[in-house]
């Protein structure tokens, strides 16, 4: 039977042991909008999790509005295309809002005073193996010399963008050395993916949030786009045409990003234990159920309090 988790750190959260947890949650609390993380909830970057596709179909048939809310540095359209390629029916979703999409919109519009003051010349940290990020339509000038940069734009952790539009593969340590030079110059950073790590076929891959956290430790100013900031949840609510936060639920595998963000936005949440916290919870496979006390410890550690805890996203 599905169990409700207390929002207080003084009470112990209860695990939802049932395989039909999502069904029971949907029937018990008929939320109008479901904001779903993708990596660690729907898929592992390579293939869908068991039952994820059919669960989405059943939720949609139940009348739920499904929105992908992701810290991916990719545009929303790219995210939806990836889901389609993985076998998900993209017509089930109202749409997607990603941190990469928010970043692109803010850099393009420049109607926010902080972004308006950035300038156009930037150091660009991006992906290599995962494919470079397009900056088309933003009017940016990619520079290699820190002295020529007005800000840092971080989409990835594998390469340094080149003025020609290509990228130079680079180790994480070397990117961090560039950040040390940027910190001396005191130029701001925009991070288009606040995640520290992500699930990648059951292993963890370092994400841009790690570089942003490093830059803050160096004394740099960082604009974090995406979860846990409230703006991405407001965008998701607008997309689903839902004004009341009590009619929404966020499903995610990251306590620091998904659950903490939902807490800040006043939205109920369901924590999937089989995602990025699997190792911390002592889980060896996706099918395992986390220990009662381990979840309590982790929730307290991150000061992020899910409304519900589920082992996996299955109806």
Smallest CA-to-CA distance from 312 within 284, 297, 290, 291 is with: 290
Q: Which H or E element spans position 82?
A: helix 76-85
Of the candidates 216, 226, 308, the one whose C-alpha atom is nearest the C-alpha of residue 265 is: 226
3-state secondary structure of 182: helix
What is the SS3 assignment for 125?
strand
Q: Give CA–CA dist 283/294, Å, rounded.
A: 10
pLDDT digits (tens, 9 = 90+) for 106-145: 999 999 999 999 999 999 999 987 777 889 999 999 999 9
228-253 pLDDT, tens digit per residue, is: 999 999 999 999 999 999 999 999 99
- State the pLDDT at residue 204: 59
Closest Cα to residue 288, out of 299, 272, 302, 300? 272
Choosing among 3.40.50.1000, 1.10.10.410, 3.40.50.970, 3.30.750.24, the CATH entry for 118-224 is: 3.40.50.1000
Concatenated DSSP letters for 73-108? SS-HHHHHHHHHHTT--GGGEEEEEEHHHHHHHHHH
φ and ψ at residue 243, rounded to 5 degrees: -100, -25
Q: What is the CATH number of domain 19-101+227-310?
A: 3.40.50.1000
Secondary structure percentages of the chain, helix, strand, coil, to 5 = 35, 20, 45
Cα 177 to Cα 180: distance, rounded to the nearest angstrom: 5
> What does the pLDDT read at residue 10?
38
What residue spans in the chain does CATH classification 3.40.50.1000 cover?
Answer: 19-101+227-310, 118-224
**Residues 296-315: tens digit of each pLDDT:** 899 999 999 999 999 889 99
What does the alpha-carbon distance between residue 312 and residue 18 come to, in Å, rounded to a whole number?
A: 10
**Model's pTM, two decimal places?**
0.85
Q: Is the pLDDT of residue 15 over 60?
A: no
Q: What pLDDT was estimated at residue 8? A: 41
143 near 125, Cβ under 8 Å? no
Report the share of the chain in percent with pLDDT over 70. 91
Contact (CB, 8 A) for 128 and 134: no
């Amino acid at each position: 039977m599905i169990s409700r988790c207390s929002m207080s750190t003084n009470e112990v959260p209860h695990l939802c042991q049932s395989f039909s947890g999502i069904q029971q949650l949907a029937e018990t609390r008929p939320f109008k909008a479901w904001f779903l993380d993708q990596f660690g909830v729907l898929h592992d970057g390579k293939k869908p999790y068991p039952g994820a596709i059919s669960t989405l179909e059943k939720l949609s048939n139940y009348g739920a509005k499904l929105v992908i809310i992701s810290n991916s540095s990719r545009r929303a359209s790219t995210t939806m295309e990836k889901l389609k390629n993985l076998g998900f029916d993209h017509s089930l979703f109202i749409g997607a809002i990603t941190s990469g999409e928010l970043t692109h919109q803010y850099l393009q519009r420049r109607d926010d005073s902080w972004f308006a003051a950035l300038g156009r010349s930037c150091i660009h940290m991006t992906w290599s193996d995962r494919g470079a990020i397009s900056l088309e339509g933003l009017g940016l000038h990619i520079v290699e010399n820190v002295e020529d940069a007005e800000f840092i734009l971080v989409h990835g952790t594998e390469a340094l963008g080149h003025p020609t539009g290509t990228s130079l593969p680079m180790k994480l340590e070397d990117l961090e050395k560039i950040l040390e030079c940027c910190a001396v110059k005191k130029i701001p950073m925009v991070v288009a993916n606040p995640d520290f790590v992500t699930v990648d076929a059951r292993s963890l891959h370092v994400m841009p949030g790690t570089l942003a956290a490093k830059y803050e430790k160096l004394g740099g100013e960082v604009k974090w786009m995406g979860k846990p900031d409230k703006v991405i949840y407001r965008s998701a609510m607008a997309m689903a045409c839902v004004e009341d936060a009590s009619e929404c639920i966020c499903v995610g595998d990251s306590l620091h990003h998904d659950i903490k963000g939902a807490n800040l936005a006043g939205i109920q949440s369901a924590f999937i234990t089989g995602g990025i916290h699997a190792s911390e919870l002592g889980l060896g496979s996706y099918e395992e159920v986390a220990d009662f006390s381990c979840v309590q410890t982790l929730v307290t550690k991150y000061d992020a309090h899910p409304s519900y805890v589920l082992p996996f996203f299955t109806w």
